[in-house]
Chains A and B, each alone.
Chain A
Amino acid sequence: MSDILKNQPLTIALVGNPNTGKSTLFNALTGLKQKVGNYPGVTVERKTGSVEIDGTRHKIIDLPGTYSLNHKKVDERIAYQTLIGEYEYEETPDLAVLVLDSTNLDRNMYLATQVMDLEIPMIVLLNMSDLAEERGIEVDTNTIQKRLGVPVLPIVAKDKGDIQNVRQAIADHDLEAPKPLSWKPQQPLAEAITLITDEWLHPHTDLPDRAHPIEALRLISNNQVSDDFKNHPRREVAEEIIAKAQSQLEDAGENPTAVEVMARYKFIEQCTSNGNGNHRQEESETLSDKIDAVVTHKFLGPVILVAILLLMFQAIFSWAEPFMNLIDLFFVQAGNTVAETLPPGILNDLLVEGIIAGLGGVVIFLPQIMFLFFFISILEGTGYMARAAFVMDGFMTRIGLHGRSVVPLMSGFACAVPGIMAARTIESWSDRLITIMVLPFMACSARLPVYALMISAFVPNENAFGFISMQGLTFFGLYIFGIVMAILAAWVMKMFFTDGESTPFMMELPSYKMPKWSAVFYNMFERGWIFVKEAGKIIMAISIVLWFLASYPKVEVPDSITNSTTTTEASFNAQESASSYKLKHSYAGQIGQFIEPVIKPLGFDWKIGIGLITSFAAREVMVGTLNTIYSVGESGGNTTTLKQKLINDKDPDTGEAVFSTLSAISLMVFFALAMQCMSTLAIVRRETNSWKWPAIMFIYMTALAYICSLVVYQGGQALGW
């Protein structure tokens, strides 16, 4: 690095294809000094961090993984605009660090040639050089370095020594941009680029000069004016010039949509001619070929996928249980301790009944969420997730979705929010919209608390057919129910969205590898933390509001309830009746009773009514709410589990149990279908850029939930259940 720039803090962009180990490198360079968030207005994850080299702290941006800068998707656009310094939410990088997969250099170099066109100083890292060596792929670093004219480093992103070399390369870099268009387009392509640059881009757009060649190429190969210029006042000028450039190319015997890609690959071939070329095709069948022949098989593929999912969910529930019991114990103990230590009063009530009870109800489901992301990370890390999408494509297309919808839908089992974010990989707007609109039917982890509570309390722990537990079967049934409803909804929606723009399935299947365990655990803890942080904020606020609503106004309990007893047991019952009386007359009770006539036909009472209202903020709040409602007015010493309280809950007027198995099932059906998640609605608003879709989603899902619960409860009663 030149002396003037030696101690300047730099902004460094990491660029590369998906699955090249870019994130591993990012983590290795930044350690814990990183921030994960979203780019404003879009659902592309933004990862930034910093690295200290020789006493200077540089900023690192981990740009979204992309195959090309010919931006068709929003993440590609962000990468492109950041690199040309035109993205308003990101600083212009001083240096691009390209991470290429050594085992698939030709394809990875394509992006490298595009970044070079942008005249940004760069370092090229040939990652996974150990794997390339293992597979007998020769990579001639010197030739590549000579051809590209920028520093090229073979690395293994996991290796500490290699990371040190990367740091050194950043420190030593002279920040001189590579020569523009180092792959030098030949005539007539060069002429076409000049034409578009001189007659359209230069006079009519604000793009920086260094972006002109790549923009010109994009206009030529896409055969149309890009979205960026759709509303440009001189749009027809652009169309005319593009048509002119294209006819020039056609006259010269070139295919305008192919000429750029061909020219780039020709250049790449010269760079890697000693490298991997086509060597592989001569080999006999590899292990990877054999695995793919099985897991992408027409019949075996889906069977294997379902088996993997079943195993995964079974493991999640059984592994998570001991951790959940521990957390439960901790919060009960904490509640008791605080209740006994602090003097009785508002603060004591707020802490025990509002904050600790509400928070405990959230944290307890952390183990399940973390195990789920543990498995999802493994499926992604091994490369199987892409196969799952591929295997399901035929089926998904038939029901109006896309093979790529499988990954977002599967992520929806954890949480609809990341699932909806993952839907951005679906290029066609209609496929993407339908995927988003039906995704909240997938049984997300926030429903688990409600399912778990209701099932453990009201579904008998017996075996069906001698070997499957009824409780497990109910769980499984609820998952299938969600999937079936998603399929039906997608099928119906497809009838309304026949815009004919659905894109055919094509995707890269990453090579199989062992998952990186550090990445798996990192992801697991990161997602767990995000869940606690995001859900925790809402739930804490709601718990406090709820505690207030359930505790105020303070009413005098009539003497007929408190003083009519002599025996100990009767006194206990009286105490219960008194708290019930207080709750019924609180603000919360008043709201619950107000909506009770509407939900009564579903088998719900006013307490569930309160829960339904609060759980529109987030489904898991339901359990926290019930916890709060049922612990109000209780002395700290006799904290029993919520499950027991639900079973014991009796209608004070009739003396009958409030909950039956039927009303519990009705409630679970309601939860399976209703749109009860503010975060999901917010993310749909951002993703679709309009309130129309979240509004439609909210109305159709909630209406469907009401109707189905009504059918279940009324039908069940008519059958005498």
Chain B
Amino acid sequence: MHPLNTTEAGEQINIQCLGCNCQDACRLRELGCIEGVKGKIISNNSNIVLQIGESRLAISEELARTILVSLK
């Protein structure tokens, strides 16, 4: 498992664990960023753009560090 901020554009990932605080994790999940869901990295310029389903989420580096993912 890697922190989300270490991934590269174009990589397919699988969300494994949201290690941020409760409120942020809750918000992420509501936006579709849930443990077990597949996603694709659109860009990683310290801040991440992550595609999950049809949602495109922008996530700061600070938050991305707390999200653990596995590469597909």
Contact = CB atoms under 8 A, between A and B. Distances in A.
Interface string A374-395: 0000000000001101100110
B24 A504 contact: yes
Interface size class of A (residues with CB under 8 A): 35 or more
Nearest to A218: B26
A222 B46 CA distance: 29
B24 to A, nearest CB: 6
B57 A258 contact: no
Interface size class of B (residues with CB under 8 A): 35 or more
Contact of B40 (A281, A288, A298, A386): A281
B53 to A, nearest CB: 5
B51 interface: yes
A505 interface: yes
Contacts of A222: 22-23, 26
A278 B38 contact: yes
Contacts of A179: none
Nearest to A265: B34
Given A67-B30, A257-B25, A509-B56, A281 B43 contact: no
B47 interface: yes
Contacts of A104: 53-55
Contacts of B56: 288, 292, 508-511
Nearest to B27: A506
A92 interface: no
Main secondary structure of the interface of B (DSSP, over half): mixed
Interface string A628-648: 000000000000000000000
A110 B27 CA distance: 12
Interface in A281-331: 281, 285, 288-289, 292-293, 296-298, 301
Contacts of A397: 60, 62
B63 A107 contact: no
Interface string A391-418: 0011001000001000000000000000
Contacts of B59: 504-506
A185 interface: no
B60 to A, nearest CB: 4
Contacts of A105: 54
A295 to B, nearest CB: 9
Contacts of A110: 30, 32
B3 to A, nearest CB: 13
A503 B26 CA distance: 13
23 contacts: A70-B30, A72-B23, A72-B27, A104-B55, A106-B54, A222-B23, A261-B29, A262-B29, A262-B34, A280-B53, A281-B51, A296-B42, A296-B43, A298-B46, A301-B45, A393-B47, A394-B60, A403-B58, A506-B24, A506-B58, A508-B57, A509-B49, A511-B54
